Amino acid sequence: MRKILALAAVLAVLSPVVRADSYEIDASHSQVGFRIKHLVGKVPGRFTKFAGTVEFTPAKPEAWKVVATIDPASINTDNEKRDGHLKSADFFDVAKFPEMTFKSTKVAGVKGDSAKLHGELTMHGVTKPVVLDLELGGTTKDPWGNTRAGFTATGTINRKDFGIVWNKALDTGGLMLGDEVAISLDIEAVLKAPAKK
């Protein structure tokens, strides 16, 4: 047993730890949006309060990580009455569940500027795995000397998987709302800490 522990310790020392640059999400130049079916159309919405970090170095996809939080009470569908209903216990129940989180678990299928971002989404008190299509927007220096990185992530979740089940039957048959929610994240982040060599 001692030999096994000693070998594990040696391997831990010898194995290189892959680190990536740390970026902070710039909420003023980012958007967390969604779209859901309503009757015969689709209604868009967004969350206006969110924060997070992105660990990212282009040549090191094995080190890419994302941790983000969203305030569900910041939901905005450009309709005050509807937003109030969405904040209620029928939907997000923001009084009971004041935060949503996303934590990545891995990045796979990297091909050029696209990849699959795997992670765990916690919403309405329920945590489920999700996979998002990730598009890299590149990195650049802004006019003030900051390094910025851009990302777009899209995907679809089923709201019922997270216990958000409210709906209304129509006199003509069918339901008022769809179950699938399309997610669209447009993120710009600012470099805070370069990876240590």
SS3 call for 153: strand
Q: DSSP per residue over 84-104, as a string? A: HHHHSTTTT-TTT---EEEEE
Q: Say what the pLDDT of residue 19 is.
A: 85
pTM for this prediction: 0.87
Residue 31 lies in a domain: yes
Residue 174 lies in a domain: yes
Residue 6 lies in a domain: no
pLDDT tens per residue across span 159-194: 999 999 999 999 888 999 999 999 999 999 999 978
Residue 4 lies in a domain: no
β-bridge partners, 188: 150
- The Cβ of residue 134 has, within 10 Å, a number of other Cβ atoms equal to 25
pLDDT tens per residue across span 135-152: 999 999 999 999 999 999
Contact status, residue 87 vs residue 45, Cβ threshold 8 Å: no
Q: Say what the pLDDT of residue 11 is.
A: 40
SS3 call for 53: strand
Read off the tokens for 47.
């969350």
List the CATH number of the domain containing 39. 2.40.128.110
CA distance 26 to 187: 7
| Least confident stretch, 16-20, 30-34, 96-100, 128-132 | 16-20
Residue 10 lies in a domain: no
Q: How far is CA 188 from CA 79, 95, 136, 147, in A?
A: 27, 29, 10, 10
Helix (H) or strand (E) run with residue 82 in it: helix 80-87
Among residues 31, 120, 27, 16, the alpha carbon closest in space to that of 63 is found at: 16
Q: How far is CA 185 from CA 25, 66, 81, in A?
A: 11, 12, 25
Q: Supply the range of the domain harboring residue 172.
A: 19-193
pLDDT tens per residue across span 94-126: 999 999 999 999 999 999 999 999 999 999 999
Residue 2 lies in a domain: no
Residues 6+ apart with CB under 8 A from 145: none
CA distance 12 to 178: 49
pLDDT tens per residue across span 68-103: 999 999 999 999 999 999 999 999 999 999 999 999
Residue 8 lies in a domain: no
Q: Percentage of residues in the chain with pLDDT exceeding 70?
A: 90
Number of structural domains in the chain = 1
Q: Say what the pLDDT of residue 2 is.
A: 52
